[in-house]
Amino acid sequence: MKISLFEVEQWEREKFDDLSGENDISYFKEPLTAENAGEFSDTEIISTFIHSDLDKTTIEKLPDLKMIATRSTGFDHIALDECNEKGVVVCNVPRYGDNTVAEHVFGLLLTISHNLRDAIDRTRKGDFSQEGLQGFDLKGKTIGVIGTGDIGEYVIRIAGGFGMKVLAYDVKPREELAQELGFEYRDNIKDVISGAEIITLHVPANDKTKNMISREEFDAMKDDTILINTSRGSVVNPKDMIEALASGKLKAAGLDVLPEEPVIREEAELLHSAFKEEHDMETLLADHILLRLRNVIVTPHSAFNTCEAVIRILDTTKENIDAFIEGSPENVVNEINKSPVGG
């Protein structure tokens, strides 16, 4: 098989040395994009992280493509309809970082609750005063968990260790888990939002979750709520979030993800991309405002990025590619309309 792996570091490459069968494997540090896709027109299997453009235009430029192995849980960056139509099997890494992302959630939350950013900035300047540094305890607070899948579950487990109460919302509630871990579901998302001091989001990005947290949900919040988002940027309406921060509904936000994130990753790209129709100028502007607010902390989609989690991602991706080559694909996330072209 002709296999191309994108966004791979040198040390990650040896993981793929002993893939099943006879293969011609190429590695690239850069992402796959609509612009460079033409150079890989004979590739049959691709593996990327989330910064490659796996949109319709790119996939159309890969006529021999049979499989995409994304090295992520989320697959909202892939044009699944196009893959379904062309019989391209798409596989993800469903469980690699439940604890990893959940630990990052509490990293963001503790940074806010203990004013860690200001405290650290201050001591670096030789200033050891306490002025303005008073934070708040997590113990006794209620955390609202939206999405109680693998990551949400781990967040609930950790919240228990802090002595927090948990309210949860999910389209598929797991009542047995609620009994085991001692938390409560609410049938309506607003009942969770209005009953919590801290809200954390763990739903996938799709049409149903787009702007799931918008003006109405912000209005339902208590004053001074803390919002943590490590899911995907599209789940929160950024303009409404800025208004909520201004009105005091939100005291602070900890964000590992932003809408239009791939574009704002490169500041220099802003001017260039702002003129492309597919990017929403208002959303880009909102992102840039959020990046500069003192009560918003942003990490660069790094919640997954621990040594242990990355090794788990690479191991599962190799197993996904092997399983496809051997004819029994695993962790398939799409429903193809015709038989796969091979493998």
In the set 150, 219, 280, 322, which binds ligand NAI (CB under 6 A)?
150
Pairwise CA distance, residues 258 & 280, whole Å: 13
* 304 forms part of the interface with ligand NAI (CB under 6 A): yes
Q: Are strands 296-298 and 24-27 parallel, antiparallel or unpaired?
A: unpaired
- Is residue 120 near ligand NAI by the rule CB under 6 A? no
- Per CB under 6 A, the list member of 107, 144, 147, 254 interacting with ligand NAI is 147
Kindly state whether residue 230 participates in binding ligand NAI, applying the rule CB under 6 A.
yes
Q: Does 262 bind ligand NAI (CB under 6 A)?
A: no
Opening angle at CA 145, ends 148 and 147, nearest 5? 35
Could you report how far apart the first and last alpha carbons of the chain are, in Å? 9
Q: Give CA–CA dist 259/208, Å, rounded.
A: 16
Considering the rule CB under 6 A, would residue 205 count as an interface residue with ligand NAI? yes
Residue 253 DSSP class: E
Rule CB under 6 A: say whether 191 interacts with ligand NAI: no
Query: Considering only residues 282-301, where is the footprint of ligand NAI by CB under 6 A?
Result: 301
Q: Does 231 bind ligand NAI (CB under 6 A)?
A: yes
Pull the structure tokens for residue 268. Answer: 């220099």
- Binding ligand NAI (rule: CB under 6 A), the pick from 5, 151, 252, 296 is 151
232 as an active site residue: the answer is: yes
Q: Which of 77, 202, 249, 279 binds ligand NAI (CB under 6 A)?
A: 202
The answer to whether 261 is a known catalytic residue is yes
Stretches 32-40, 178-186, 226-234, 260-268: which one binds ligand NAI (CB under 6 A)?
226-234
Closest residue by Cα to residue 240 from 220, 256, 257: 220
Measured CA to CA, the distance from residue 31 to residue 39 in angstroms comes to 13
What tokens does 310 get? 């990355």
Query: Near ligand NAI by CB under 6 A, which window of 83-91, 147-155, 158-166, 242-250?
Result: 147-155
* Rounded Cα gap, residues 20 and 25, in angstroms: 12
Which residue out of 71, 104, 202, 232 is catalytically annotated?
232
Which residue among 7, 44, 53, 170 contacts ligand NAI (CB under 6 A)?
A: 170
**Per-residue contact flags (x/-) with ligand NAI for residues 48 to 87, judged by CB under 6 A:** -------------------------xx-------------
Backbone angles phi, psi at 116, to 5 degrees: -65, -35
Q: Which stretch binds ligand NAI (CB under 6 A): 144-152, 264-272, 273-281, 331-339?
A: 144-152
d(Cα 301, Cα 304) in Å, to the nearest integer?
Answer: 8
Three-state SS annotation for 21-45:
CCCEEEECCCCCCCCCHHHHCCCCE
Question: In this structure, what token pair is assigned to residue 191?
Answer: 């009942």
**What DSSP line would sit under 300-318, residue for residue?**
-S-TT--HHHHHHHHHHHH
Query: Smallest distance from the beta carbon of 228 to ligand NAI, in angstroms?
Result: 11
In whole angstroms, the minimum distance from the beta carbon of 170 to ligand NAI comes to 4
Report if residue 183 touches ligand NAI, rule: CB under 6 A.
no
The alpha carbon dihedral of 220, 224, 229, 232 has a sign of positive
For the annotated catalytic residues, the residue numbers are 232, 261, 301
Binding residues (CB under 6 A) for ligand NAI: these are 73-74, 97, 101, 147-152, 169-172, 202-205, 208-209, 230-232, 256-257, 301, 303-304
